[in-house]
Amino acid sequence: MNSTQTIAEQVVTFKEHLASQAPAEVLGRFAEEQAGLDRAGIPSGVAQPGAVMPDGDLADAHGAPTSLAKSRDGKPAVVVFYRGAWCPYCNIALRAYQEQVVPALNTRGVVLIAVSPQKPDGSLSVRETNELTFPVLSDPGNQLATQLGILTHPTDGARESQAALGLDVADGNGDGTPNLPMPTTVLVDAAGTIRWIDVHPNYTSRTEPQSILDAVASILA
């Protein structure tokens, strides 16, 4: 896909391709889930700017123990929560961040960190497939997503559609559950305080690169 396009534009192209490949019944269940997520909107308990960024026992892409604080190493960070290596919308977004966000963050001394509930081998797959240069961490129990208030539980219909496509999300997750974080971008300052958070309940929508760069420029200036 054209990396100069917005994530939203790339998603439209992907959906058009998917519509020509996947069974209508499968697509219908996904559409129902997405409509439900749109109706529900952002959860009321989502963490707000000013709160301390949560942390936990994480693992890097090679399975070594780490934490968000260790990965930040005292630097401000853009922390991106994604669903997993199996999620095409996640891969579109992560590639866009690598190409359009990382270079600008590097000049400001800001690190980008991606977090998902999948096992480390999934993190490694994401990193290698998309040629990512930033840390890709596993939060096997959705510790951070739970504390941020962005944890979701896929509908039965969505799980049936995932299974029809050969996906077993629970098997790939570190805790053996199908639970997932809402795609979310959090700007954390050097002290570990949340300064900006952008939550997308519908997983086909993501924070655009320019929105991240604008937040960094205005908040960490």
| CATH of residue 96 | 3.40.30.10
| 60 occurs within a structural domain | yes
From first CA to last CA, the distance across the chain in angstroms is: 32
Amino acid letter at 32? E
Are 86 and 116 in contact, with CB atoms under 8 Å apart?
A: no
Q: Can you give the pLDDT at residue 3?
A: 59
41: left (phi over 0), alpha (psi -120 to 50) or beta: left
What φ, ψ does residue 31 adopt, rounded to 5°?
Answer: -65, -40
Confirm whether 57 is domain-assigned.
yes
Contact 56, 67 (CB under 8 A): yes
Please report the pLDDT score of residue 2 as a whole number.
47
The verdict on pTM exceeding 0.85 is yes
Question: Hey, which bits of 67-157 come out as E strands?
Answer: 77-81, 111-116, 136-138, 151-152
The closest of 75, 146, 149, 87 to 113, measured between CA atoms, is 75
The total of structural domains in the chain comes to: 1
Give the per-residue pLDDT at 143.
96
Q: Mean pLDDT for each consecutive 10-residue tract of the chain (221 residues)?
A: 80 92 87 91 96 97 97 97 96 97 97 97 95 96 97 86 86 94 98 98 96 96 71
Is there a domain that residue 2 lies in?
Answer: no
- Domain of 19 in residue numbering reads as 7-219
Domain annotation covers residue 102: yes
